[in-house]
Amino acid sequence: MSDADPNNEPAVIEDSTNNNNDTEETKFSWPPLESNPEVFTTYLQSIGLPTTFSIGEVFGFDEDLLAFLPQPVLGIIVCYERLIPKSEQRAQDKGRQEDYDQVDFYMHQSKVLDNACGIIACLHAVFNSPVVSVDPSSVLGKFRQDTTKSTPAEKCQALEQNTEFQNIHRTHAAKGQSAAITSGQSKVVHHFIAYVLDNKEGGGKLVELDGTKAGPVVVGDCDGDVLRGSIREVRGKLERGEISESLSMMTLNLAAGVRQWEKLSLSMTILNKTAREVANVMGGPKQRQPYLVRDCNLLSGSQ
């Protein structure tokens, strides 16, 4: 079954947040990850992301700070604290099963994948980038290949049953500057989502991908600029009181040391789609600035 076929999909996605049946002693199946680009880069490259790509960090929303990001930006990963009460989240869910076909890859998140939202956001970013190609023999490559024709619910089930992936995840969940949290859902108050461009001709629409929602959320036109489109949407969420100011934003981008984009063998279609961003690759790495957005102590799961 393909992502575009919603016929057998559940109408409501189960969310593990603050489940009353869980005790504080219950061990997480998928512990939360620290919102840390170094942790994410090491994790993703260990499971098959080519070293020509990495996870970067948005230090602030001003244009002067955005200029420090390696280009092109291929996807966005946001970590935030939701302020909408859990009882109202499903009523305000803008995700639609009818929009599964707006992206090449979308999966749901279940109670079993308790705090896997960080890696799920990464899967959404990586597998929806027309530039990134992973080794089919890697953990990422095998998961993608095995779920190519699966529905979002079937992809969720496939990750639940992938013990190799789960063991690697646990290793990286113990890394970073924060003390690892292995149990106690009330301690996890942040959630990861991804923003990507749609897969239609021209790819000009921003799409929010959150496995706890009923489907992708087509945000609207962003002129093919996933970075600034995501920033506008996050600012809107802040203004509407949907999230707190305790947030961080990371990017999927070319690694800072990659200067010759020709080595990526970009097709002309991809080149035209990202011409303005790819042209900036030759600028090379920039000096890092003090953190303005990130809190190294954010540990994020399915809150």
- Catalytic status, residue 169: no
Residue 191 bears catalytic tag: yes
Contacts of 171 (CB under 8 A, 6+ apart): none
Check 117, 122, 156, 222 and give the catalytic one. 117
Can you count the helices (H) and strands (E) in the chain? 10, 8
DSSP letter (8 states) at residue 262 = G
b/e per residue 116-131 (b: at least 16 CB within 10 A): bbbbbbbbbbbbbbbb
- Locus of tokens 């992973």: 134
Residues contacting residue 140 through CB under 8 Å, at least 6 positions apart: 44, 47, 48, 49, 123, 126, 134
Residue corresponding to tokens 């896997």? 116
Please spell the DSSP secondary structure of 123-169, one letter per residue: HHHHHT-SS----TTSHHHHHHHHTTT--HHHHHHHHHT-HHHHHHH
Rounded Cα–Cα distance for residues 112 and 115 (Å): 9
Which of 108, 169, 190, 191 is flagged as catalytic?
191
Q: In 3D, which of 248, 155, 131, 254 has the Cα closest to residue 193?
A: 248
CA pair distance 146, 57, nearest whole angstrom: 31
What does the alpha-carbon distance between residue 154 and residue 208 come to, in Å, rounded to a whole number?
20
Structure tokens at 83: 């302020």
User: Please, which residues have CB within 8 angstroms of residue 63's CB and are 6 or more apart in sequence?
Assistant: none
Catalytic residues: 117, 191
